[in-house]
Amino acid sequence: MAIVSNTVVYLDGNVVLEAFFAFDDAITGRRPAVLINHTWVGRDDFVAEKAKKLAALGYVGFAVDMYGKGVLGSGPEENMKLMQPFMADRAMLQQRMKAALAAVKLMPWVDDSKIASIGFCFGGLCALDLARTGADIKGVVSFHGLLAAPGNTQGNAIKAKILALHGRDDPLVPTEQVLAFEQEMTEAGADWQLHSYGHTLHGFTNPLANDPAFGAVYHPDADRRSWIAMQNFLAEIFA
């Protein structure tokens, strides 16, 4: 087994984007692909490593770029400035996700009938919003993602299966937002599930998260359990 990785440039309108992708060149033929959506920082090493881990599982890992080639935040203030336009204009966010979906379908190793999307924090919301558009993908996994509905997808049937992996004590996603999400998914006819990890805050998959005042703290057990839950989910949707 040899994991091959590289970057690929793609476009959303006039915006130049650069994804990181990885696959196992010991596997012959086309295989499922998993879009990986980054946190508010941008397309960094964290999602690149997830792409490599997914490649080792037999998938093409495709780390999406939401902000533009080479654009990364340097701290909370800049990260917020990068993320906020997408939070304010969810149609723009959804279009950016559709551009990534179109790009991954063009890759020669990808079975374009078997695509999923996962994401972390802001990226969890990005993955969920792709599903909310009614995109024809197999499934979506949100890790400590923001769950608020976009306001422009009511009435859409959600085709993708949904797995939300949530920290019970995440201050960025209060209980009322979780309940609203469950109601939204039910009304959209989605095949959905939500796993809530006790005594767990935001950012629980990120070993660098250690900011109790902000509400983001790494939780190794929740990190391990959520990754296993994702593997089981992917095996189911791609069967």
- What domains are defined for the chain? 3-237 (3.40.50.1820)
What is the C-alpha to C-alpha distance for residues 101 and 99, in angstroms, rounded to an integer?
5
63 Cβ contact list (under 8 Å, min separation 6): 19, 20, 21, 36, 38, 43, 47, 48, 50, 51
Beta strands 192-197 and 161-167 are: parallel
What is the C-alpha to C-alpha distance for residues 28 and 25, in angstroms, rounded to an integer?
7
In the predicted model, residues of the chain with pLDDT beneath 70 are: none
Whole-number pLDDT of residue 186: 97
Whole-number pLDDT of residue 238: 98
What is the C-alpha to C-alpha distance for residues 97 and 74, in angstroms, rounded to an integer?
23
Whole-number pLDDT of residue 135: 98
Query: Cα angle vertex 10, ends 6, 11, to 5°?
Result: 160
φ/ψ of 73, rounded to 5, equals: -80, 150
What is the C-alpha to C-alpha distance for residues 85 and 96, in angstroms, rounded to an integer?
12
